[in-house]
Amino acid sequence: METAISVHKLRKEFRGRGKSIVAVDDIDFTLRRGEILGFLGPNGAGKTTTIKMLCGLVKPTSGSLLIGGIDPAANPRKAMRKLGAVLEGSRNTYWRLTVDENLEYFAYSRGRVSSDFRHRRDRLLTTLGLAEKRTELVQKLSRGMQQKVALGCALIPDPEILLLDEPTLGLDLQSSQAIQQEIKRLADQEGKSILLTTHQMEIAHALSTHVAIMNRGRIVVQDKVKNLLDVFSLGMYTIRVYGWLPAEERTWLEARWGAELDHDESGTTLRVPLTDARQLYLIIEILERHKLLISNIQRLEPNLGEIYLKLIEEGPVEATRFGA
Amino acid sequence: MKQLVLALRAEIKVGFAKTVRYPVQTLTSVLVLYLLFVGVFYGSRSIAGVVNTPSADFARSATEAIAGYLLWFFALIAIDSMSQNISEEAQTGTLEQFYLAGWSFPLMLFLRFLSSILTSLVMLIPLLLLLSLSTGVALELRFVDTLPVVGLTILGLCGFGYLLGAVTLLFKRIGNAMTLVQFGLLFLCLPPVEQFSGPLKLIALTLPLTQGVKLLRRVLAPGSEIIGAGDFLLLILNSAAYLLVGIAVFRWAERLARDRGLLGQY
């Protein structure tokens, strides 16, 4: 698959007055065409510095980065043409201009005005739900609308790669979902490669095809979301039955299977960690023996948030544990 | 080249949109600039005790002051578009996007400066009319002579703007220092530089405005003579020096700012 962003041994060290801070410590990661890479990590992990280096705002101390196969240090104009960004903490747009004027400015200032510019702008306004607001000043729009304008401005020059830093931060549920749908559509239908930074794990989980988790300047893990979920799968099942098990069986289940049992008025809930799903039949056999009706069986899956916390707390994980 | 023209068009359009969209702000700026001129010009004459001078002397003195004021106005544009603008954009969070356009930073700033010069005509034309009406001086705007002098001086001011822009990149909030520079320039370029003495004269002579103001005064003065090649060459050298040094210093500051992570508030 075509590589959109390739980072190798990238390092940024801030030096000053005898002190040296390593913000980014020899990281490697790749973003491929059409992928959404969730770039995650706690505050101060080095994500922002990495994004700044990708945008050309910070000069790397060492290492290499390629944007669409182009080295931005050697050919910034060509590299930046492939990049669009909505950066957190920035307005990203000119509030004293209208929505239309902003889109026009960002297209023209990048010299990206094709003959179908008007058509493209109109289509973008419609897609983002901004068509009715096009003549309004950005400063008068709601936060959600302003964020959509920022996304529109990043998209109007038709970049191949998008850097989205907390694109849904501070938005209401409706606006957040609208932005999320648009991000998904951009990757799935338009083949845009997206580097998504967020602290909202449910959004990272819902949107990302891959994740890279950073902590203390290093990438703790980079893998497909699916692979991570598989590796961290707990193999934990919950079984809800009507009625109660005899004390002897309870003790045996706890000792043999490490099960946890909760009783209440209407029945029992078993939580059993199983290494093989076939072991369920043995549990069911015991329940059947005591004529306990099963009302529900569920496999508990970890979510990205839990995996993230585990990785951040445990530190770097060997890459060999994960699939490519 | 075509892409560069498109980028310039974008800057000009935004500049005009902002100017026209906020007419009260534009009119207030014209009024403030007019009152400032009246205050400084008549105030200095009053202090010097030359209020009641023959009309020919007054006309010459007013023309000289207007010439200085005109170029000071362009210096304001340079400071605003190449220094204060960086600071403002860093604070409002658009500097990153400005940078992402992919053009070299000095080139983007030059485009913005150029567009600011063009959009400032909206203010400059009524201001000159007001100054002309209130002083009773009919300015002889001989464009063939005036434009090269103004154009070259503006290039020097652009270099000066880069120098201040470099300071802004490294030290961020320097609004008060810039105000000091603006007024310092005003008081150094309104009176004829020949009247200064000592260190003040030395400072005035090294400014990007001085040579331009001197020549413009000569061009605008009633019955003026043609500017000599030597004077013109000095203006070219002065402006070229400011421009080249300005760009070099700005590039150095940009490299330093990128290295230290100072670009943008983001």
- The predicted pLDDT at position B79 comes to 85
Q: Backbone phi, then psi, for A263, in 5-degree steps?
A: -110, 145
- Burial environment of residue A25 by CB neighbours within 10 A (0 to 12, 13 to 18, 19 or more): middle
Give CA–CA dist A195/A87, Å, rounded.
Answer: 11
What's the average model confidence in pLDDT over B118-141?
A: 85
Interface membership of A83 toward B (CB under 8 Å): yes
Highest mean pLDDT range out of A93-97, B158-162, B174-178? B158-162
- Residue ranges of B 61-100 with Cβ closer than 8 A to chain A: 92-94, 96-100
Count of beta carbons in the 10 Å neighbourhood of residue A289: 10
CB pair distance less than 8 Å for B7 and A109? yes
Residues A262-315 have pLDDT tens digits of: 888 888 999 888 877 788 888 888 888 888 899 999 888 777 888 888 888 776
Instruction: Evaluate if pTM is beyond 0.95.
Output: no
Q: d(Cα A7, Cα A55) in Å, to the nearest integer?
A: 13
Distances (CA, A) of A115 to A112, A120, B153: 10, 9, 39
Mean of all residue pLDDT scores within chain A: 86
Phi, psi of A57 (to 5 degrees): -80, -25
Confidence of residue B53 (pLDDT cuts 50, 70, 90): low
**Helix, strand, coil in percent for chain B, rounding step 5:** 80, 0, 20
R_g of chain B computed on alpha carbons: 19
Quote the DSSP letter at residue A12. E
The tokens describing A119, both together, are 């058509």
User: Mean per-residue pLDDT for B240-255?
Assistant: 94
SS3 A4: strand
Contact status of A86 with chain B (Cβ, < 8 Å) = no
Distance (Å) from the alpha carbon of B202 to chain A's nearest alpha carbon? 37
Which residue of chain B has the CA closest to A80?
A: B102
Distance of CA B168 to the CA centre of its chain: 17
CA angle A33, A61, A54 (to 5 degrees): 25
- Burial class of residue A58, CB neighbours in 10 A (0-12, 13-18, 19+): buried
User: What's at A57, amino acid-wise?
Assistant: L
Chain B environment of A87 (Cβ under 8 Å): 93, 96, 266
Question: B94: which chain A residues are within 8 Å (Cβ-Cβ)?
Answer: 90-94
Residue-wise pLDDT for B211-234, tens only, equals 888 888 888 776 666 677 888 898
> Do A50 and A214 contact (CB within 8 A), yes or no?
yes
If one compares A98 and B56, the residue with the highest pLDDT of the two is: A98
B13: alpha, beta or left? (left if phi > 0; alpha if psi -120 to 50) = alpha
Asked if A312 and A213 count as a contact pair (C-beta separation under 8 A), the reply is: yes
Question: Per-residue DSSP letters for A60-113?
Answer: -SEEEEEETTB-TTT-HHHHHTTEEEE-TTS--S-TTSBHHHHHHHHHHHTT--
According to the 3-state scheme, what is the secondary structure of A36-69?
EEEEECCCCCCHHHHHHHHHCCCCCCEEEEEECC
Measured CA to CA, the distance from residue B164 to residue B259 in angstroms comes to 19
- Give the sign of the dihedral formed by CA A261, CA A262, CA A263, CA A268: negative
pLDDT digits (tens, 9 = 90+) for A191-225: 999 999 988 888 888 899 999 999 889 998 888 88
Mean pLDDT of B52-63: 73
Backbone angles phi, psi at A160, to 5 degrees: -80, -30
| Length of chain B, in residues | 266
CA distance B121 to B204: 27
Residues of chain B found within 8 Å of residue A24, distances taken between Cβ atoms = none
Residue of chain A whose alpha carbon sits nearest to that of B109: A109
Q: Which of B166, B194, B177, B176 lies closest to B250, judged by CA? A: B166
Confidence class of residue A232 from pLDDT cuts 50, 70 and 90?
confident
CA distance B129 to A323: 75
Q: Which of residues 109-168 of B touch A (CB under 8 A)?
A: none
Phi/psi of residue A7, each to 5°? -120, 130
Confidence (pLDDT) at A75: 87
- Residues from chain B contacting residue A14 (CB–CB below 8 Å): 260-261
pLDDT at B135: 84
Cα A22 to Cα A28, B27, B63, distances in angstroms: 15, 51, 60
Q: Which run of H or of E encompasses B184?
A: helix B175-189
CB contact under 8 A, B260 and A14: yes
Amino acid at position B37, single letter: F
How long is chain A?
A: 324
| A254 dihedral zone (left: phi>0; alpha: psi -120 to 50; beta) | alpha
Check if A111 contacts B (Cβ < 8 Å). Answer: yes
Report d(CA A30, CA A139) in Å as an integer.
37
Backbone angles phi, psi at A315, to 5 degrees: 90, -170
**pLDDT tens-digit readout, B164-216:** 999 988 887 777 888 888 888 887 777 776 677 778 777 777 788 888 888 88
- A87 within 8 A of A51, measured Cβ to Cβ: yes
- Residues of chain A with Cβ-Cβ distance to B258 below 8 Å are 56-59
Enumerate residues 6+ apart whose C-beta is below 8 A from A44.
Answer: none
With CA atoms as reference, report the closest residue to A152 among A72, A94, A70. A94
Does A96 lie at the interface with B, CB-CB under 8 angstroms? yes
The pLDDT value given to residue B254 = 92
> Residue B171 CB: number of other CB atoms within 10 A?
12
Contact B193, B204 (CB under 8 A): yes
- When scoring A90, A99, A158 by the number of chain B Cβ atoms within 10 A, the one with the most, hence best to mutate, is A90
Distance, in Å, from the CA atom of A97 to the CA atom of A135, rounded to the nearest integer, reads 9
More confident residue, B48 or A69: A69
Q: Do B258 and A90 touch (CB under 8 A)?
A: no
Regarding beta strands A210-215 and A218-224, do their DSSP bridges make them parallel or antiparallel, or are they unpaired?
A: antiparallel
Least reliable range by pLDDT among B150-154, B206-210, B255-259? B206-210
Residue whose structure tokens are 């403030």: B32
What pLDDT sits at residue B265? 54
C-alpha neighbours within 13 Å on the C-beta side of residue B55? 4
Contacts (Cβ under 8 Å, ≥6 apart) of A181: none
Task: Tell me the chain A residues in contact with residue B96 when contact means C-beta distances shorter than 8 Å.
Answer: 55, 57, 85, 87, 90, 92
CB contact under 8 A, A57 and B4: no
